[in-house]
Amino acid sequence: MGNRYFEVLERASSFLEKQGKEGYSILFVFLERKGWSKTDWLLHLKEEITPEEEEQVNEDLKQLVQNYPPQYLLGYSDFYENRFSVNEHTLIPRPETEELVDRCLRENPNNELNVVDVGTGTGAIGISLKLARPAWQVTAIDISDEALKVAEKNAEQLKADVHFIHGDGLKPMKDQKIDILISNPPYISNAEWNLMDESVRTFEPKTALFAENDGLAIYQQLAEEAKEKLNVASKIYLEIGFQQGNAVKQLFQQAFPEKQVQVAQDLSGNDRMVIVSPKKEEG
């Protein structure tokens, strides 16, 4: 009798752990490739694995031990209940960014609003907003042509009518007034390089991760550019690094003295968002 599923996966998992890697990642990739749930796994784990499947496990293992992200291996990542294609030209969408999308949706109705997503990457933010709020006019901007190709493909697959533009920050937005600006820009400073997970440092696109001026350069650019493009009722939703709350808040408070600027935490309790909104009426 040949090897059984659980024997092969257990060996692979402990091999990864001995190398100081995440042991579960090989099972995650295996289940995704098979389209199996955890229940399916429990039902089938004692069955015999085919030579082709074992070969695939070994191929995946070689990549994972080199810190290659599981999402790039599979070619997709799930975000806000939808599946997005990803590759090495795009960041892998993060759960914290789902919280930014969630916050934006909770606070804004399905009226005709002009919404702009800067640094869209896979299109995860802009597409998720459009699917949940069909009345919004959503424009997504990215400086990377390669990322935009992935985003456009995702919009097509998910049937989201999002307008994509190649450009830097808000420069492509000429005279249109923006109701909601949302962005998960590059915000990691060069000093934080050593804190990054090795798989992120090695494989995810640097231009989507790093920014000058202690990671604040794109916020400075957006604060400046947004002054011309936002009206009194407009709002801004930004993802930030966990140490950047005060600095980003000050930047936007200076740019928008008439608005309320607050730092909000993610589910882990870290500063993760800066939200700029009209001041509440007193009384």
- 120 marked as binding residue: yes
Q: Quick one: which H or E segment has residue 231? A: strand 230-239
- 187 marked as binding residue: yes
Instruction: For 218, list phi and psi in degrees, rounded to 5.
Output: -70, -35
- 2 marked as binding residue: no
Reading the block at residue 175, the tokens are: 């005279």
Q: Are 5 and 32 in contact (CB under 8 A)?
A: no
- 39 marked as binding residue: no
188 strand-pairing partners: 210
- Following DSSP, what letter does each residue of 182-202 receive, concatenated? EE----B-GGGGGGS-HHHHH
Rounded distance between C-alpha atoms, residue 54 and residue 3, angstroms? 9
Going through 126-229 in order, the beta strands assigned E by DSSP cover 137-142, 163-166, 178-183
- 237 marked as binding residue: no
- Following DSSP, what letter does each residue of 37-101 receive, concatenated? -HHHHHHHTTSBPPHHHHHHHHHHHHHHHTT--HHHHHTEEEETTEEEE--TTSPPP-HHHHHHH
- 185 marked as binding residue: yes
Q: Which residues, including other chains, have CB under 8 Å from residue 144's CB and lie 6 or more apart?
A: 89, 205, 207, 208
The annotation places the binding site for substrate at 184-187
**Residue numbers belonging to the annotated binding site:** 119-123, 142, 184-187
Residues contributing to the annotated binding site for S-adenosyl-L-methionine: 119-123, 142, 184
